[in-house]
Structure 1
Amino acid sequence: MKIAFSPCPNDTFIFHAWVHGLIPGAPKLDVTYADIDITNSLAADCNGPEVLKVSYAALPWVLSEYALLPCGGALGRGCGPLVLVSGRAVAAGKPAVLAGKRVAVPGERSTAYLLFRLWADQNVPGGVGDIVILPFYEIMPAVRGGLVDAGLVIHEARFTYPYYGLTMLADLGSWWESDTSLPIPLGAIIARRSLDLTAVAEWIRASVRYARVHPETSQEYVLSHAQELSPDVAKAHINLYVNEFTENLGDTGYNAVNTLLGRAARAGLVPGIDSAALT
């Protein structure tokens, strides 16, 4: 079975057991490791993998071929994208500083970008200027080097941005939670509708459970894909993104996804969907 997910610690931690043949009855996996903007594109390809990790923001474009699985993704609290500026930015801490400015983002079909646009509509008078698409690992260097005025960052950048001399202008997860009282939907696991979706979900859940019971067995695998992260940062990343919603979205998780995509559709950022298509 072909699968695509990111090399980030939460994904490799979650799928370690399945990738290494530790889940009884689960098929062997052919893994593609790719950043989220690439997996979003793969989902739009009729020859894409059977299972893959995508942004929740990408769901409206792929639900005809893929189903959202109720497990394995990234949804939680205190784990949202950050808007960063350099230490030289004037009036750091005031969103209006972004009016007309160049902002780097990790993909226009990313959840981070949806949140940024919804937040900016409320908080940046006149809106931002040019949007520059960069791989997530290039964004902080671009802000530090002055190539862009601000950057929208995800993943381990929550823990590492001070090393780049950058300042957090906004925590979009905190904004979202304050505005909606819901957790933030980040990354979804989807599978082709032609598969036995119940079986795929159970294999993923089994892999999650194995990882939690035997965290030490995945450490070498996680760190080998963690793009030079320290063990402490990788562990913090896992602790943040692997939570109660990883094993089961539940009613709260589905409500969060519907709320995000509903707001984004009303803002003209994504096509509208029937909420029944998510379950």
Structure 2
Amino acid sequence: MKIAFSPCPNDTFVFHAAVHGKIPEAPKLDVTYADIDKTNYWAAEGIGPEIQKISYAALPYVLDEYALIPCGGALGRGCGPLLLTAGGDQSPRSLAGKRVAVPSERSTAYLLFRLWAAEAIPEGLDEIVVMPFHEIMPAVRDGKIDAGLVIHEARFTYQEFDLKMLVDLGEWWEQDTGLPIPLGAIVAHRSLNKEEVTKWVRASVDYAWENPEASIEYIMEHAQELSYEVAKSHIDLYVNSFSQDLGEEGFKAVASLLGRAGAEGLVPEVDLSLLKN
């Protein structure tokens, strides 16, 4: 069976056992390691592997063909995107009529930014520019763009670019909804047996927690020059109880994000009952 997920530590940690034959009920897996922008596109076009890790923001485009697997993905707290500026007026409305860079338009980070901006900047922005992630902070520092949306490790490095945080969008979301942030989802083609896929994905998560040393070599093989300490921090941040089971709170978080984004016209409106079917 073909599967695609990123080489990031949280994904290799979760799927190590299934990939390496540690889960008897799991099929033999043919893995493609791919950035989530690629899997978002593959799933939307129906051209990718039967099982993929995609952004929750991409779910509305694929739910007709792919079912959401209620485990193996990433929801979290304290791990949201940041909106950065070079300083000056740090009020949200200072961005009215300004240009903001984002790394993708099909990401949870982008949806959170647009939902926040609809409330905080009623005058609207001048332009939203899609820019490679690694170019955003230098562009804000150098005045080429007025603000930038950043994710992941940029939470810990933006001060090196002499930038200021205008808003922590994860914190805003959690205060506004009381819910975790839906980040990455595992989806399986609807031709597959969803219950069977769920069973072995969950078993792989459980094995990872019960045998944390077993996956270290595999994680570091794909960790893209990260130190083990950074890789472990990445896992601790993104692999949690929602990775084992979305549960009612997890489903509520996903429904809230996609429902609000659909109402704002940011994604196609979907039948939210499909999240559990």
Q: Which residue of 1 aligns with 2:80?
A: 80
CA shift in 2, pair 1:227/1:143, >3 Å: farther
CA shift in 2, pair 1:135/1:51, >3 Å: farther
Q: Distance in 1 between matches of 2:218 and 2:137?
A: 26
Q: Which residue of 1 aligns with 2:147?
A: 150
Q: Which residue of 2 aligns with 1:23?
A: 23
Q: Which residue of 1 aligns with 2:69?
A: 69
Q: Distance in 2 between matches of 1:145 and 1:32?
A: 37
Which one-letter code corresponds to 2:169 in the other structure?
A: L
Q: Which deviates further from its counterpart, 171-180 or 150-159?
A: 150-159
Q: State the percentage of identical aligned residues.
A: 67
Which one-letter code corresponds to 1:12 in the other structure?
A: T
* 1:204 Cα offset (Å): 1.1
Q: Which residue of 2 aligns with 1:123?
A: 120
Q: Distance in 1 between matches of 2:27 and 2:200?
A: 9
Q: Which residue of 1 aligns with 2:13?
A: 13
Q: Distance in 1 between matches of 2:188 and 2:216?
A: 26
Q: Which residue of 2 aligns with 1:40?
A: 40
Q: Which residue of 1 aligns with 2:213?
A: 216
TM-score of the aligned structures, taking structure 1 as reference length? 0.92
Structure 2 unaligned blocks of 5 or more:
none
Q: Which residue of 2 aligns with 1:110?
A: 107
Q: In the alignment, which of 205, 227, 230 is matched to residue 227 of structure 2?
A: 230
Q: Distance in 2 between matches of 1:69 and 1:231?
A: 29
Q: Which residue of 2 aligns with 1:256?
A: 253
* 1:145 Cα offset (Å): 4.0
Which one-letter code corresponds to 2:39 in the other structure?
A: T
Q: Which residue of 2 aligns with 1:271?
A: 268
Q: Distance in 1 between matches of 2:246 and 2:154?
A: 25
Q: Which deviates further from its counterpart, 200-209 or 59-68?
A: 200-209
TM-score of the aligned structures, taking structure 2 as reference length? 0.93
Structure 2 SS opposite 1:58: helix
* 1:175 Cα offset (Å): 0.4
List per-residue Cα deviations over 1:17-64 (Å, max 9, x = no partner). 222222223122222222222111010122211011111111111011
Structure 2 SS opposite 1:217: coil
Structure 1 SS opposite 2:136: helix
Q: In the alignment, which of 166, 169, 172 is matched to residue 172 of structure 1?
A: 169
* 1:125 Cα offset (Å): 4.1
CA shift in 2, pair 1:17/1:141, >3 Å: farther
List per-residue Cα deviations over 1:125-174 (Å, max 9, x = no partner). 42222222234344334333443222212222223333333322211111
CA shift in 2, pair 1:34/1:214, >3 Å: same
CA shift in 2, pair 1:48/1:85, >3 Å: same
C-alpha contact 1:37 1:106 (8 A) present in aligned 2: no
Q: Distance in 2 between matches of 1:8 and 1:137?
A: 16
* 1:229 Cα offset (Å): 2.5
